[in-house]
Structure 1
Amino acid sequence: MTTEKDLRVCEKGHQYYKSSDCKSYPICHEENKPKSGFLAKLSSPARNALLHEGIDTLKKLSLHTEKEILNLHGIGPASIPMLRASLAEEGLTFKK
């Protein structure tokens, strides 16, 4: 099965091909990667998934269940232990 890729242009003018609806361009997202905090520990797709939902703090993350976060496009099972640990460092947990 062949997946057709569309030519796209990011906000900075970079051209790239993508087969999914995801608007992520790896080079630009790597340039915008935070230097510290829990978002810096995540892959670009996972970080972008959270930011797209307005989840930019651990407090906001704690308002969601693990299942809700796993349902976001870009979040995979490997992200959950890191997110759980980051929450625990601040005395927080995922919503039950």
Structure 2
Amino acid sequence: MNDQPDLPPGIGNPATRAFTAAGYTRLEHFTRATEAELTSLHGVGPKALRIIREALETRGQTFKLTD
């Protein structure tokens, strides 16, 4: 099993560190979190969310819609 994060390129190091520290190491992990939950992570901003959103959309997936 690969322990390296499987995140889209371009989200930036602060957001990558925040995501991996919170356990979001693979793109499919983001389907169980709302955008609000992710925004609350230190280092995560609109650009990172946009990149993740677009990557999910290419797979026909989305962020979790509500809590």
Going by fraction, where is helix more abundant, 1 or 2?
A: 2
Q: In structure 2, what is the equivalent of residue 58 of structure 1?
A: 27
Q: CA RMSD in A?
A: 1.6
* Larger RCO, structures 1/2 (Cα 8 Å, 6+ apart): 2
Query: For structure 1, which runs of at least 5 residues remain unmatched after alignment?
Result: 1-33
Q: In structure 1, what is the equivalent of residue 58 of structure 2?
A: 89
Going by fraction, where is strand more abundant, 1 or 2?
A: 1
Distance 1:95 1:57 in 2: 15
Normalised to the residue count of structure 2, the TM-score between the two structures is: 0.81
Instruction: Point out the structure with max Rg over C-alpha.
Output: 1
Runs of 4+ in 1 over 6 A off after TM superposition: none
| Seq. identity, % | 33
1:18-42 deviations in whole A, cap 9, x for unaligned? xxxxxxxxxxxxxxxx7x741x321
Normalised to the residue count of structure 1, the TM-score between the two structures is: 0.58
**The one of 43, 47, 50 aligned to 1:78:** 47
Query: For structure 2, which runs of at least 5 residues remain unmatched after alignment?
Result: none
